[in-house]
């Protein structure tokens, strides 16, 4: 499965290599799955770590160096899609756009705007849901 990993899952995985988001990240990144990350995810990660976790920037650099070797970095298309209207937070819409354009089967997130959106393709899943699917 092609799995686009949202920023909140990446943050949790980077901060806690023992948690469920880390397990979901690892599962998404290895065969038979194909992990994806979009350009906006990388920008958000850096911005959030600089603001909230400035003392953990070295950890983020290490995490990103491995993540960018194992995950496919996909672009965020410029043109909006009709499906985006289902996402309340306009800042999250480019991530859905990237997932659709990259033909992701799953968007892995803990963000309620995605989880409550009603979007069916890609499937929206939490890390806990994802680690329990076969």
* Distance, CA of 132 to CA of 134 (rounded, Å): 6
**Higher per-residue confidence, 25 vs 118:** 25
Strand 34-38 and strand 2-5: the pairing is parallel
Give, rounded to a whole angstrom, the gap between the first and last alpha carbons of the chain. 11
Does residue 112 register a pLDDT over 90? no
**Higher per-residue confidence, 86 vs 11:** 11
Summarize the confidence of residues 50-60 as an average pLDDT: 89
Confidence of residue 63 (pLDDT cuts 50, 70, 90): confident
Does residue 81 register a pLDDT over 80? no
Alpha-carbon separation of residue 123 from 4, 43, 83, 100, 103 (angstroms): 10, 24, 13, 10, 11
Which of 2-6, 77-81, 108-112, 117-121 has the highest mean predicted lDDT (pLDDT)?
2-6
User: Sign of torsion, CA 48 50 56 61?
Assistant: positive
Confidence of residue 108 (pLDDT cuts 50, 70, 90): very high
Confidence of residue 20 (pLDDT cuts 50, 70, 90): very high
What pLDDT, on a 0 to 100 scale, did the predictor assign at position 6?
94
Alpha-carbon separation of residue 103 from 34, 53, 73 (angstroms): 11, 32, 13
| Share in percent of the chain as helix, strand, coil (round to 5) | 55, 15, 30
**Higher per-residue confidence, 91 vs 37:** 37
* 74 and 107 Cβ atoms separated by less than 8 Å: no
């Amino acid at each position: 499965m092609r799995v686009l990993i949202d920023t909140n899952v990446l943050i949790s995985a980077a901060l806690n290599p023992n948690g469920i988001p880390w397990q979901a990240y690892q599962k998404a990144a290895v065969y038979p799955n194909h992990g994806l990350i979009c350009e906006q995810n990388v920008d958000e990660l850096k911005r959030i770590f600089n603001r909230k976790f400035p003392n953990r920037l070295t950890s983020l650099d290490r995490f990103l160096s491995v993540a960018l070797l194992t995950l496919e970095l996909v672009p965020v298309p410029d043109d909006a899609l009709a499906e985006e209207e289902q996402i309340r937070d306009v800042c999250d819409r480019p991530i859905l756009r990237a997932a659709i354009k990259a033909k992701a089967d799953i968007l892995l997130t803990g963000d309620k705007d995605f989880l409550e959106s009603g979007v069916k393709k890609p499937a929206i899943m939490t890390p806990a849901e994802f680690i329990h699917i076969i």
